[in-house]
Structure 1
Amino acid sequence: MTSAAEPVTAAILVIGDEILSGRTKDRNIGYIAEYLTAIGVDVREVRVVSDVEEEIVAAVNALRARNTYLFTTGGIGPTHDDITADSVAKAFGVSIDVDPRARAMLLEYIKPEDLNEARLRMARIPAGAELVPNPVSKAPGFWIGNVIVMAGVPAIMQAMLDQVAPKLKTGRVMLSESVRADAREGDVGGPLAALAKAHPGVTIGSYPFADESGRPNTNLVVRSREAGLLDAAVADVKAMLAGLPRR
């Protein structure tokens, strides 16, 4: 990894009708976001699209244009509706064909006699792409431009993410601290807005929840890349809370 002075940003594109229908529950977005945040990459947006080529192409081109990286999951399997690789190739305006490197990887896992036309689809890689190794089942992902294409199966996606992470450019890690308000969100909204204005370089979010007594409560999460700014804002948040009427 190499560190950059400016924030490094990412988008996540989840591809698959099964996610949109609710048949499959996504388990990748949260994992990728937490993983990237921990290494200094800010996830700015997430999109889910169906297995339709023009929708995938449009999403890839939009998201890669305004982020340092775009991570995609899903749609690189052996079936007819796994069209992510073809769609990404179209987005970049390059050809796609069976890649000898990817084919060799598949043969580490699949017997030659079992490498049928369907399975060989998993070796089709856009021209000029770097392969992303798959330690779990060998069928690789790929990296082209600033787009990193990974499998949808969580265990495989996670293994692929481990492969690409050391090569990513990263920014300064976002520091955060959570403060339990013991107050309702509406009670802290006004003073919290004033605190946010008073602390540039810091973001403060409020997250309501029901506490152990079943009453409405709020967690306040303070974030900054500067430890000093974070500490000062947290101190002011705690002072503000101490001045509120107790419930």
Structure 2
Amino acid sequence: MSAPTTVTAAVLVIGDEILSGRTKDRNIGYIAEYLGKIGVDLKEARVVPDVEEEIVAALNALRARYDYVVTTGGIGPTHDDITADAVGRAFGVPVIEDPRALAIMLERYAEADLTPARRRMARMPEGSALVDNPISRAPGFRIGNVFVLAGVPSVMQAMLDGAAREMRTGAIMQVEPIEAGAAPEGLYGDALGRIAEANPAVSIGSYPSFKDGRFMNQIVVRGKDAAAVKAAKAAVEAMLEAIRGDGKPL
């Protein structure tokens, strides 16, 4: 039986405001969940400042490593919106004012109101495909395996719908959460490690939280082979049941 198909992606968040803490990122989690549901595994996320050299270096590293890269931020009308220039430099192509993008923007703005600043939002690397923006109309773009989207969460989310339609997808990750209750991780850590070693086709994680005045733990089994996930889940449940029976580490 062939292995489930895996398609990978990375997110590159661009913006000084994220690194300074002025703006709290709301895009990485949304993109990770969205892509996971369609069979694209988010493998890495990076945040870089509005510095062209940093954007180019990160983008070139990520696009060589993963099937897709989704960038957010830096495609607005101000001087520090330099993502298009950085992407053009990464791909070694000139950045132009795209007539298709300009025509779309004229659907929203009168020509007299299309200021030089607003026209910056029609700039993109030559040869790019447009990514629709149903919210504010100024499109994003795709070049190679890179999708360049807005940073404003509501706009990014609407653009991601269009970008995702252009992505090849793979097997969807199966996720099985198992409530460990108040059982301390120290009681089951060694046993959980042995289960993980015996089930290499899945990933197993333990996640503590503080609820109702006490610590609670949840173990999550993830994988693309449904049978392997089911087997690992059963092993974890049996291990927890044994701990609850005598309260001793396994």
TM-score class, shorter-chain normalisation, is over 0.9
Assess if the C-alpha contact under 8 Å between 1:177 and 1:234 holds in 2: yes
| Partner Cα separation in structure 1 for residue 45 and residue 59 of structure 2 | 11
The one-character-per-residue Cα deviations of 1:197-230 (angstroms, maximum 9, x if unpaired) are 1112111100011232x22221000011111111
| Partner Cα separation in structure 2 for residue 101 and residue 108 of structure 1 | 11
| Partner Cα separation in structure 2 for residue 5 and residue 97 of structure 1 | 41
Q: CA deviation at 1:158?
A: 0.5
TM-score, length basis structure 1 = 0.96
The one-character-per-residue Cα deviations of 1:94-138 (angstroms, maximum 9, x if unpaired) are 001111000001111111111010000000110111000100011
1:149 maps onto 2:148 in alignment: yes
| Partner Cα separation in structure 2 for residue 187 and residue 217 of structure 1 | 13
Q: Look up the SS of the partner of 1:25 in the other structure.
A: coil
Assess if the C-alpha contact under 8 Å between 2:4 and 2:225 holds in 1: no
- What is the aligned partner in structure 2 of residue 230 from structure 1? 229
Assess if the C-alpha contact under 8 Å between 2:131 and 2:140 holds in 1: yes
- CA-atom RMSD in angstroms: 1.3
| Number of equivalences | 243
Assess if the C-alpha contact under 8 Å between 1:185 and 1:217 holds in 2: no
Structure 1 runs, 4 residues or longer, greater than 3 Å off: none
TM-score, length basis structure 2 = 0.95
**Partner letter of residue 129 of structure 2?**
E
| Partner Cα separation in structure 2 for residue 209 and residue 187 of structure 1 | 16
**Partner letter of residue 100 of structure 2?**
R
Sequence identity percentage? 60
Q: Which runs of 5+ in 2 are unaligned?
A: none
- What is the aligned partner in structure 1 of residue 210 from structure 2? 210
| Partner Cα separation in structure 1 for residue 125 and residue 211 of structure 2 | 51
- What is the aligned partner in structure 2 of residue 54 from structure 1? 53
For residues 108-187 of structure 1, what are the structure 2 equivalents within 5 Å? 108-182=107-181, 183-187=183-187
| Partner Cα separation in structure 1 for residue 79 and residue 165 of structure 2 | 33
Assess if the C-alpha contact under 8 Å between 1:105 and 1:139 holds in 2: yes
For residues 54-133 of structure 1, what are the structure 2 equivalents within 5 Å? 54-133=53-132
Q: CA deviation at 1:5?
A: 5.1
